[in-house]
């Protein structure tokens, strides 16, 4: 059963018949299925590792309207895996770079760009005009946001996630099965799961997972014959290093707060707060810039430098004078700090180090703690250009 109603279908042109001929001779797609692809409106959230193959293959397949959401710009470190962008696009908005590539691949489709951060106050409006959403994001707050809005709007959510060598994919369609919250009722503690930028990722992995997502989107549009032919109610797990696929059966949670029998989430919520990134009773964390830290160090101020990055990151860029204490060991090693001396916490981009300060605050550490704003990458940019930003 397709999600595209017959009333939206239009004929294929001669050029379209030629372009999509390999689809047309497949009985599972055929002319009717290709017409549905032409009529479909798909939103890809994120034009990074997962969004790159998603956008390219959906455009190649002839999805009539392709929406792209991203607030970021292209960096050189993206190009190891985000194949929709190119070296000449470094510094450009990702949605513009992706649109350029997609329109070059298939100028017959309509590309709609949303150069913005998806948030509680704009998600209903942005997602509302699409038939299916493909989640190519890399953070929990946006995943929960996409899930909840898709459930509220009755839109299927084609999910993918990657980490180092592992990936997972599913279709969360609350009309026919579980949603993301049924699988993950609560997010992990802040800082406990590093992002790809912090933990690394095998470059080909998002290509594999994103292509699986694109396949599921196409099947939703053309109609796979049955829900059982989709990843609805199934979580596909992939380990690229061991080259293994596994599968978990998923069940709908009757007590799910968004898709259960008695939902309590009836509109988008504060996802930063839900994921523990902000709390109403939190004191603001004091930031120190790389330049300001350099000034204090040059003056000989007594400062404890605490590097919460993993050992492999420290090998890429050793922060001279910093004491290495990985994030997961902080609370157990708080006795190694001197509360009488300012402590500056360092990670790659200044995110984990903020979580580190919260962990120590919760553990009862009373010393003055500062966060290196922008992390080691800011130090490279503003202080030591000979060091490596990664």
| Active site positions, annotated | 196, 347
Q: Which helix (H) or strand (E) holds 346?
A: strand 342-346
Separation in Å, CA 185 to CA 166, 181, 253, 259, 260: 21, 5, 9, 12, 12
Distance CA 273, CA 277 (A): 6
Nearest CA to 361 among 372, 374, 349, 370? 370
| Strand positions, DSSP E, 85-199 | 110-114, 132-135, 157-163, 166-172
342 contacts 299 by C-beta, under 8 angstroms: no
Return the SS3 of 59: helix
Q: Token pair for residue 336?
A: 């190694």
Strands 234-239 and 244-249: antiparallel
Separation in Å, CA 152 to CA 121, 194, 215: 14, 29, 24
Backbone φ, ψ for residue 160 (5° rounding): -150, 150
253 contacts 178 by C-beta, under 8 angstroms: yes
Return the SS3 of 223: coil
Q: Which helix (H) or strand (E) holds 16?
A: helix 14-19
140 contacts 152 by C-beta, under 8 angstroms: no
Return the SS3 of 114: strand
Residues in the chain: 390
Distance CA 198, CA 74 (A): 17
Longest dimension (CA), the chain: 77
Separation in Å, CA 369 to CA 259, 280, 338: 42, 20, 11
Return the SS3 of 300: coil
């Amino acid at each position: 059963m397709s999600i595209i109603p017959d009333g939206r279908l239009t004929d294929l042109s001669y050029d379209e018949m030629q372009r999509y001929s390999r689809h047309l001779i497949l009985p599972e797609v055929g002319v009717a299925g290709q017409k549905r692809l032409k009529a479909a409106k798909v939103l890809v959230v994120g034009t990074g590792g997962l969004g790159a193959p998603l956008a390219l293959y959906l455009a190649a397949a002839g999805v009539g309207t392709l929406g792209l959401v991203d607030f970021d710009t292209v960096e050189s470190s993206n190009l190891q895996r985000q194949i929709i962008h190119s070296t000449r696009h470094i510094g450009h908005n990702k949605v513009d770079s992706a649109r350029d590539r997609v329109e070059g691949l298939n100028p017959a489709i309509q590309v709609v760009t949303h150069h913005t951060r998806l948030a509680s106050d704009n998600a209903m409006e942005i997602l509302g005009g699409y038939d299916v959403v493909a989640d190519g994001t890399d953070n929990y707050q946006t995943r929960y946001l996409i899930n909840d809005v898709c459930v509220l709007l009755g839109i299927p959510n084609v999910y993918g996630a990657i980490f180092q060598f592992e990936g997972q994919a599913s279709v969360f369609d609350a009309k026919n099965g579980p949603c993301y919250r049924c699988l993950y009722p609560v997010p992990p503690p802040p800082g406990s799961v590093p992002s790809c930028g912090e933990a690394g990722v095998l470059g080909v992995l998002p290509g594999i997972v994103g292509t699986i997502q694109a396949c599921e989107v196409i099947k939703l549009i053309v109609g796979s014959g049955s829900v059982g032919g989709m990843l609805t109610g199934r979580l596909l797990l992939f380990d690229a290093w061991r080259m293994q696929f596994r599968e978990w059966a998923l069940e709908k949670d009757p007590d799910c707060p968004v898709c259960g029998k008695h939902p309590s989430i009836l509109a988008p919520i504060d996802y930063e707060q839900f994921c523990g990134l902000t709390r109403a009773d939190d004191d603001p964390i004091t930031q120190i810039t790389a330049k300001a830290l350099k000034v204090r160090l040059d003056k000989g101020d007594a400062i404890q430098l605490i590097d919460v990055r993993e050992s492999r990151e420290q090998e890429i860029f050793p922060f001279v004078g910093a004491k290495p204490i990985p994030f997961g060991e902080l609370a157990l090693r708080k006795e190694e700090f001197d509360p009488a001396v300012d402590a500056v916490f360092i990670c790659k981009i200044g995110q984990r180090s903020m979580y580190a300060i919260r962990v120590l605050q919760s553990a009862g550490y009373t010393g003055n703690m500062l966060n290196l704003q922008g992390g080691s990458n800011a130090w490279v940019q503003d202080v030591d250009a000979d060091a490596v930003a990664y």
